[in-house]
Structure 1
Amino acid sequence: MDSEFSTAWRRLSGESLLFPVIGHPVAQVRAPLVFNDLFARAGIAAVSFGLALPPERVVETCRALLASSSVGGLLVTVPYKKVLCAAADRLGADARVAGSLNALRRGPDGTFEGDLFDGTGFVRGLHAAGHLPAGRNILLLGAGGAGAAIAAKLGAAGAALVKVFDPQAGSAETLAARLREHYPGTGFRVEAAPDAQGCDIVINASPLGLRPEDPLPLDPARLAPGTLVCDIIMKPATTALLRAAQERGLPVHRGGAMLDHQVPAYLEFFGFADLARRVETGSGQVTLRPAAAAP
């Protein structure tokens, strides 16, 4: 741990702000590493950490956490991105469209606000890597919280067709119907199987790949040459799906980019607008410009 981290941890006190990442499990979450580094470098007395909560009473527990003046906000990961919409008194536009959230905060009036940044981070990450979804045919695996967010932003980015596969077909149908209303220029089609025929981009937004024993969400051997294979799982950085795609010479896009490119939106949501303007993303890492250099 470098001197900045050591100084930051010594600075933590009863006045420090807490930013738990709510999920079950949380061993895979990368957000605390990113945010704690930024807090330390900016001299902010705050800390982020994973907090595993069982599903029983998770909504009530999160509302109790948000009521505490010690909690600056909650980050939300699997499997609670849809469930915890019930913890919010108000939802931002992206959260309403997707029907899920990944951040909660206490507003100035004491009510709880939720919003969603996964889709923004994912599409910004694609753009930064030179992959433009506009006009493309895309297979999306998973219609959960993150998948819903990504599907919505793909529509906003002008994708030609988004084919959605989820073992829970009802969830996929509900999502597709809602997105057709908001993004009529994009075709949203529910698939009965993970069929990537005719697709330029494949995105795994399902939990498959979190555990070593998980099966592949689809067979990369059936993908056309040049198909971009994306995975939103952040740990491991190179999932079994991405490794199999690389072995077949296919381009890949790792999950860490989604978090990196939504960090500024998270920070602004939690009240750190000045810090958000200093954040730079690129080369697979999040860095901080000196305060004087921020625009």
Structure 2
Amino acid sequence: MARSLLLRRCLSHRRAGRAIVREHYGRPVHRARHAALAGAGCPARGRRARLVTIYAEVIGDPIAQSKSPAIHTFWLEKLGLDAEYRAHHVTTDGLAEYIAARREDTEWRGCNVTMPHKQAVLALVDRLEPLAKRVGAVNTIHRAKDGKLVGRNTDVAGFLEPLQQRLRKQHYFRMARVLGTGGAARAIVAGLSAEGFTLVLAGRDPEKARELLDELAEGEHHTAPLAHFAKATDFAFDDREGCCDLVVNASPLGMRGQPPLAFDWSHAPPGSIAYDIVTDPVETDFLKSAREAGFETIDGLSMLIGQAAAAFTHFFGEEPPRGHDDELRARLMA
């Protein structure tokens, strides 16, 4: 009875199977070792519990839908690290204040950056890694050993990760139709261009698409209005044996709360791979229609987990335990 009371005092706001919630923060705090703490009870009387530990977080507007806390917390638990990963709502107007406050927080190890801040944070960090500077977008900020804030782009590595086995092969020709011209498209265009793909970049504004290609992609590439791909075509594709073809949704279309992406699969060469970076829902109409048309698919969790893995190492100094990816995906989709 005394032990039960002591545990309730120590973890008074914890519900079964949930992250610890601190009332004064008003948001969940994902703590990798809260289960172990519950089993061990509170520290002996006269000793202060260590309520603050190192942490990282994801910021954006909105942020409630982010799966990043679940991913990083899963890895922290597997490794038994005494660290936390949080989600923090940051508006555009509050971004500079957020960065300034975290600079002074010695427990903060960095953050992942999502919409709409990936470009705005460029001016708020102390230095940029070369890839982030080239892409013009930052999705990871971490505190270096010298205390400076470093802006990185792990979206490129995350996007390419599920394609690596294919990219190790030699191809006669590589082509990707990339749908969208926002921040995510910048990383995808830069990554695919470096891997030798000829690109067709489609957006509502073809001029914006052309500017993006001229900035980030070397070689001859093409643009098209996004609406072009909504209508069927009778184009006769040539022999695609030995080629690598991608169709990538790099836009928010198809995301929960957004209109669907209109794409007619007659525009995809035989043997194409359909890749959707949307993660909510994971099973998008774009991917469903691709499979119905006989194409292989890659979902947004693949990129999300890949980019998170690169960020995790910078935050916590450990490689994430990737041998548990199937278990992690099952948790994320539950």
Per the TM alignment, residue 91 of structure 1 is displaced from its structure 2 partner at its CA by 0.8
- Indicate if the aligned counterparts of 2:79 and 2:321 stay in contact, CA closer than 8 A: no
Q: Look up the equivalent residue of 2:289 and give its one-letter code.
A: A
Offset from partner CA, 1:84-125 (integer Å, 9 cap, x none): 212212111110111001101223333221000111111111
Per the TM alignment, residue 52 of structure 1 is displaced from its structure 2 partner at its CA by 2.1
Per the TM alignment, residue 40 of structure 1 is displaced from its structure 2 partner at its CA by 1.5
Correspondence list, 1:1-295, <5 A: 1=17, 6-7=34-35, 13-128=50-165, 135-159=173-197, 161-169=198-206, 171-180=208-217, 184=218, 186-193=219-226, 195=228, 200-220=245-265, 222-272=267-317, 275-276=318-319, 278-280=321-323, 283=326, 285=328
Per the TM alignment, residue 221 of structure 1 is displaced from its structure 2 partner at its CA by 5.2
In structure 2, stretches of 5+ residues that fail to align are 1-16, 19-31, 41-48, 230-234, 238-243
Offset from partner CA, 1:254-285 (integer Å, 9 cap, x none): 0111122233321222241xx21753475584
In the alignment of these two chains, the number of paired residues is 279
Per the TM alignment, residue 50 of structure 1 is displaced from its structure 2 partner at its CA by 2.1
Residues 132 and 103 (structure 1), Cα distance of their counterparts in 2 relative to 1, 3 Å cut: farther
- Indicate if the aligned counterparts of 2:313 and 2:319 stay in contact, CA closer than 8 A: yes
Per the TM alignment, residue 228 of structure 1 is displaced from its structure 2 partner at its CA by 1.5
Per the TM alignment, residue 133 of structure 1 is displaced from its structure 2 partner at its CA by 9.6
Per the TM alignment, residue 217 of structure 1 is displaced from its structure 2 partner at its CA by 4.6
**Runs of 4+, deviation exceeding 4 Å:** 8-13, 128-134, 168-171, 194-199, 281-287
Partner of 1:292: none
Higher alpha-carbon deviation: 53-62 or 110-119: 53-62
Q: Distance in 1 between matches of 2:116 and 2:286?
A: 21
Per the TM alignment, residue 73 of structure 1 is displaced from its structure 2 partner at its CA by 0.5
Offset from partner CA, 1:211-248 (integer Å, 9 cap, x none): 25512153335434432111011221111211122222
- Indicate if the aligned counterparts of 1:204 and 1:217 stay in contact, CA closer than 8 A: no
Residues 211 and 111 (structure 1), Cα distance of their counterparts in 2 relative to 1, 3 Å cut: same
Identity %: 27
Point out the structure with max Rg over C-alpha: 2
Q: Distance in 1 between matches of 2:90 and 2:100?
A: 13
SS in 2 for 1:276: coil
Q: Look up the equivalent residue of 1:111 and give its one-letter code.
A: K
Partner of 2:6: none
Higher alpha-carbon deviation: 94-103 or 215-224: 215-224
TM-score normalized by structure 2? Answer: 0.73
Per the TM alignment, residue 78 of structure 1 is displaced from its structure 2 partner at its CA by 1.6
Q: Distance in 2 between matches of 1:168 and 1:280?
A: 42
In structure 1, stretches of 5+ residues that fail to align are 288-295
Q: Distance in 1 between matches of 2:212 and 2:177?
A: 14
Q: Distance in 1 between matches of 2:35 and 2:321?
A: 21
